[in-house]
Structure 1
Amino acid sequence: MRKLYFPGLIIALAVFLLAGCGSSSNAPSNSATVKEPDTITIAWLPNNSGENEKELRAEIDNVIAKATGKKVEDKLTTDYAIAIAALENGDAQLGWFGPNEYLVSHAKNPKIIPLVVESGDSGTLKDALYHSRFLVKKGNEAQYKSGDSYGIDNITGKRISFVSTSSTSGFNMPAAAIMSYFSKQDKWKHLTKDDLAQGGSGKFFSQVIFAGSHQLSLVSLLTDKVDVAAVDDIDVSQYVELAQGSDNAPGAVYTVKKDAAAPFNNLAGKQFVVIKSIPVLNTPIEANSAVLSQKTLDAITQALTSDQVTNDPKIFAPKGAKGAVFVQPHRFVKVDDAWYDPMRKVLGIGA
């Protein structure tokens, strides 16, 4: 069995993170003549538009409103493309999207820039990572195991659930890992992301569905609609608990909590197993700097990286807290576009 982690990204991330955090600026400073809207709108992906994250969104809105003196409202969505387009066209001025979504938008328009990301336990960018994972239902994991190791050798011909073609950890990183691993085989040496997005006879997967969110991708697995699911760790962590193994490591077993909220409220006790885990640079809170002045961008960045926000339990909740997205002892850390160069290289996006 080959290595279970995606070596290209591991090496790229290690080299880059050890070298530092990139350049000191996101983009050329905005002109003072930028005409800003009276209301700042934040676009949220479907994963973060649910009722369970309402308090978090409201608290972040309050922080930004206080820092800028502007009204702040949320744009909640059920579709990745709608949220991303809102930021790109200026209907929303801020968004919290995955690295792939950010890189694609920035390649189209360099005025789309990252402001901050959630740190790791160190409180710095050194461990600002989350994970994209291939999951299978507990009881089916043996077919993906060889000796003491798990892998993706036997996912061909299976039914799989992805999140969205725009999703970093719910499609693009899993697709990159599959292409890297299977391109060494003659049958799959010309495999593309488009191939992986379509199932059927003669295809890599027998069936492919796009669930629309990480939560629903996991639900598809647990309700036997698919054999394998691509699901990140952060968007489902509040609904599940580690039952066996090391967090996010291949072989780790998770159980849906008894008091899990919808869409897991009828799935308590169901279990799944990680067969592959891929590190991903943390998701940025990003801005359309064409419609926000540098003064406003600086005010937002300063507020989000403040000790006040770091110590706010409505934003950085204790680990394991119900509904938690951002967790202690993490904090928001300022970031720039260059920090995402390792992801840009792996995903082949932009220059």
Structure 2
Amino acid sequence: MRIRNFRRSKVVAGLIALLALTLVACGVSSDNSSDTIRLGLSPDEDSAAVLAKYEPLVDYLSQATGLRVEPYVGADYTAVIEALNSGHLDMAWFGPSEYVLASQRVNGGVEPFASAIQSDDTVPYRSSFIVRSDSGINGPADFQGKVVAFTDPASTSGHIFGQYALAEAGYDPDSLFSQIVYSGSHDASLLSLLNGRVDVAAISSRKIPEFINSGVAGQDEIKTVFESPVIPPDPITYRADLPQDKKELLRHAFLDQTPALSAALEGTGFSHFGLANDSDYDVVRTAYEVTGLEPAL
């Protein structure tokens, strides 16, 4: 767990500047064969859990495209951006704020071509501030002097939109909280809250039902006291310089709504993929501007 003094205009840039990513050691393949696609996934939970959740989708993509799809889970949110920038990845499933960062960082550019559409029975995608039910905290006015856990400086729901919601409500996180902790993942933030290490945790609203259904947190143990506006869907992106034939294969694999794709997405919280455009993420750029968090790297 990382604890930092919060300086909004430098958090993301500082993280990138200090990031020393050894790609092979982190598990990124150096295989550059023409039949291989290397897919980056963000570590919104334990890497083993991420790989297990998306293994059926990876298998589906390999079958649908005829290419060998290799998944990679970044050590942190910016590791996927760096791996894509260095040419060790061909495509990535980003969170919205990561995409905005990648669009500025990756040499040659990245192109969003699909967006992950949530299943009808899932909750809207927001940044949710949760507390222990017995904490006596009922909203941002009660956050004064408390310790908060965000997940990662580049996380959309675990940081950026949480900061955005507070700023839009008239609160300055620099003076609101006594300490800001970066836990590394949504589940780590929840555990920090349950263990009493922090008073407030900002996590993805999509994670809360998972935590309760899995028994990690009891229904009566936690409560949501503040939420951000709805966040745009996760973009699926590929490098702009990826060969056109591979782009077409991937576009069809993601956007053709087939029974095989539906089956591959079971258990992920997503039902299918829609079209994505860069302008869909202008609200994320606005969030960066309002909070003073700078996406330029």
What are the superposed Cα offsets for residues 174-208 of structure 1, whole Å, 9 maximum, x if unpaired? 1122223235xxxxxxx5xxx64xxxxxx432121
Larger Rg: 1
3-state DSSP of counterpart to 1:157: coil
Determine if contact 1:78/1:212 at 8 Å carries over to the other structure: no
1:132 corresponds to which residue?
Answer: 127
Distance 1:211 1:137 in 2: 17
CA shift for structure 1 position 240: 1.4
1:159 corresponds to which residue?
Answer: 147
Asked if 1:115 corresponds to 2:110, the answer is no
1:69 corresponds to which residue?
Answer: 66
1:289 corresponds to which residue?
Answer: 240
What are the superposed Cα offsets for residues 142-187 of structure 1, whole Å, 9 maximum, x if unpaired? 432xxxxxx312212100000011111111111122223235xxxx
Distance 1:46 1:115 in 2: 21
Determine if contact 1:99/1:284 at 8 Å carries over to the other structure: yes
More helix by proportion, 1 or 2?
2
CA shift for structure 1 position 129: 5.0
Amino acid at match of 2:279: A
Amino acid at match of 2:244: Q
Give percent identity, aligned residues only.
Answer: 24
Amino acid at match of 1:306: D
Amino acid at match of 1:218: L
1:22 corresponds to which residue?
Answer: none
Amino acid at match of 1:289: A
Question: TM-score by structure 1 length?
Answer: 0.66
Number of aligned positions between the proteins: 259
Asked if 1:87 corresponds to 2:59, the answer is no
1:8-157 paired onto structure 2 within 5 Å: 37-48=34-45, 50-109=47-106, 111-120=109-118, 129-140=124-135, 142-144=136-138, 151-157=139-145
CA shift for structure 1 position 36: 7.5
Distance 1:132 1:237 in 2: 14
2:268 corresponds to which residue?
Answer: 325
Determine if contact 1:43/1:75 at 8 Å carries over to the other structure: yes
What are the superposed Cα offsets for residues 95-127 of structure 1, whole Å, 9 maximum, x if unpaired? 1221111011113346212121122457xxxx9
Amino acid at match of 1:64: L
Gaps of 5+ in 2: 1-31
- 1:302/1:339 CA distance change after superposition, 3 Å: same
Asked if 1:335 corresponds to 2:276, the answer is yes
Determine if contact 1:170/1:214 at 8 Å carries over to the other structure: yes
Task: Say what the alpha-carbon RMSD is for the aligned residues.
Answer: 2.9
CA shift for structure 1 position 88: 2.4
1:225 corresponds to which residue?
Answer: 197
Amino acid at match of 1:284: P
CA shift for structure 1 position 288: 1.5
3-state DSSP of counterpart to 1:312: helix
Determine if contact 1:47/1:235 at 8 Å carries over to the other structure: no
1:117-266 paired onto structure 2 within 5 Å: 117-120=115-118, 129-140=124-135, 142-144=136-138, 151-182=139-170, 191=172, 196=174, 203-241=175-213, 257-258=214-215, 264=216
1:187 corresponds to which residue?
Answer: none
2:223 corresponds to which residue?
Answer: 273
Question: TM-score by structure 2 length?
Answer: 0.77
- 1:42/1:224 CA distance change after superposition, 3 Å: same
What are the superposed Cα offsets for residues 223-242 of structure 1, whole Å, 9 maximum, x if unpaired? 1110000000224532314x
Determine if contact 1:238/1:325 at 8 Å carries over to the other structure: no
Determine if contact 2:40/2:91 at 8 Å carries over to the other structure: yes
CA shift for structure 1 position 130: 0.9
